[in-house]
Amino acid sequence: MTDQLAFDLTAKVASNYKREGTSQRAAAYAARYANGAFGKIRTALLYGPATPDEIAERTGITLLTVRPRMSDLARPRDADGNKIAPFIVPTGTTRATACGRDADVMRLASPTERKNWKP
């Protein structure tokens, strides 16, 4: 992931709030840690496909941080809000979460998949 793209994704996290005040402050706080979370999630996926629960376990990042960051990596947008190629994609399989629900198993998108991606 390029430095500019990491900045764009982090900026997206910071701008993702519902109203001024506590929601806005929470988004700004989350953005401070988002870039590190993106990197840790992508590194964890180098060891194999995983669900958000499994990524949280592998990285030690709270599940409440992992889920939205994985969504950002699966459906990224640039600084202008345009869709861009995903960094992670579903494998087509699911596994049970700690609470017994099914979760998509995600993997890193290949460079070819990202290059050939169309919005």
Average pLDDT over residues 1-8: 53
What is the rounded distance in angstroms from the CA atom of residue 17 to the CA atom of residue 57? 27
- Provide the token pair at 36: 């590190």
What is the rounded distance in angstroms from the CA atom of residue 21 to the CA atom of residue 18? 9
Instruction: Quote the pLDDT of residue 72.
Output: 87
Q: Are 33 and 54 in contact (CB under 8 A)?
A: no
Unique residue bearing structure tokens 């999630």: 41
State yes or no: pLDDT of 15 exceeds 70. no
Cα dihedral value 106, 76, 12, 5, nearest 10: 100
Which domains does the chain possess?
Answer: 3-116 (1.10.10)
Instruction: Quote the pLDDT of residue 82.
Output: 80
pLDDT single digits (tens) 51-100: 999 999 999 999 999 999 899 899 887 767 788 899 999 999 999 998 99
- Any idea which of 2-11, 16-25, 55-64, 81-90 has the lowest mean pLDDT? 2-11
The pLDDT confidence band at residue 3, using thresholds 50, 70 and 90, is very low
pLDDT, the chain, mean:
83
Q: Are 70 and 97 in contact (CB under 8 A)?
A: no
What is the rounded distance in angstroms from the CA atom of residue 107 to the CA atom of residue 87? 9
